[in-house]
Structure 1
Amino acid sequence: MRTGQNIYKRKDGRWEARVFLGKKSNDRPHFKYLYASTYRKVLFSKNNHEKMLTLSNETTISTALFSDSAYKWLADSSRRWKPATYIKYKNFLEKYILPEWNTLYVREIQQDTYNNF
C-alpha cells in the first residue's frame, strides 16, 4: 500500500481524503472517504477522524466483551439492512457465535480462536 496523505483534488473541484480503516475479509483495503472544499479542511477532518479511530480502538479493544461489541455492531449496522436481515444476523449471533464467545474479551480473539470456532 502506498504511504502518504491520500488527499487528492477531484474533477468537481472538491478535495478528497482517504482514511484507511483496515482490511476486508478478502484482504482488500477498506477506506473511508472524506470530502471538503479546501485542502486544509479535508486534512483537518482526516486527522480528526484518524485520532478518533485510534482512541476508540484502544479503549474498545482493551475493555470490551465480545458480546457487548457484537450487539453494538448489530445496532449500529441495522439501519443499513432490511428488518429480515437484522433478524437473521441477530439469530445467527445468538444461536451460534455467542454460546462460544460470550465471555471472551475482544482483545482475546485471535486468528487461532476464529479457526477453532
Structure 2
Amino acid sequence: MISSLKLCREILKQPPLNTIYDVKEIGINDEFGQWCTNGDGMSDEDWERYFVNQPLAFHPCGTVKMAPDEVVNHRFQVYGTKNLRVVDASIFPYIPSGNTNAPTAVVAWRASRLIFEDYMGTR
C-alpha cells in the first residue's frame, strides 16, 4: 500500500499530469499533516501509523456507472463498443453503505447469465 501511494505521487509529478495537479501545492503534508513526524513528508512509519489508525471509509466504485446516460447499459455493455463489458463495483451508481463484496458477487453472477444468453443466442 505504501509503495503504491509513493508510485502514485511520482506519477502525479510527471507531465502532463503535473500541469493539472500541483503535487507541491496539494502536498502530502497538507493532506496527511497530522500523521507526519517531519517536514519532509510521510516516512514509511508515518504511513503505517496512518493505515492502522485511519480506516478507509469507502470502496472505490461508480467510475463507469450503469445508467442510460452514463457508460454501461443494463446488460453491462459499454455504450458505443462491441463485445466490451464492465463487470465489477465500478458500475455501481452509488457507494454501498456496507462491504462491496456481496453486491459485486451478485453483479458478476447476473452478468455471467447475460453473457451466456448472448453467447447461446437465447436472449
- Regarding TM over 0.5, the answer is no
Larger Rg: 2
Higher helix share: 1
Q: Structure 2-normalised TM-score?
A: 0.28
> Greater relative contact order (Cα 8 A, min sep 6): structure 1 or 2?
1
Higher strand share: 1
Q: Structure 1-normalised TM-score?
A: 0.30
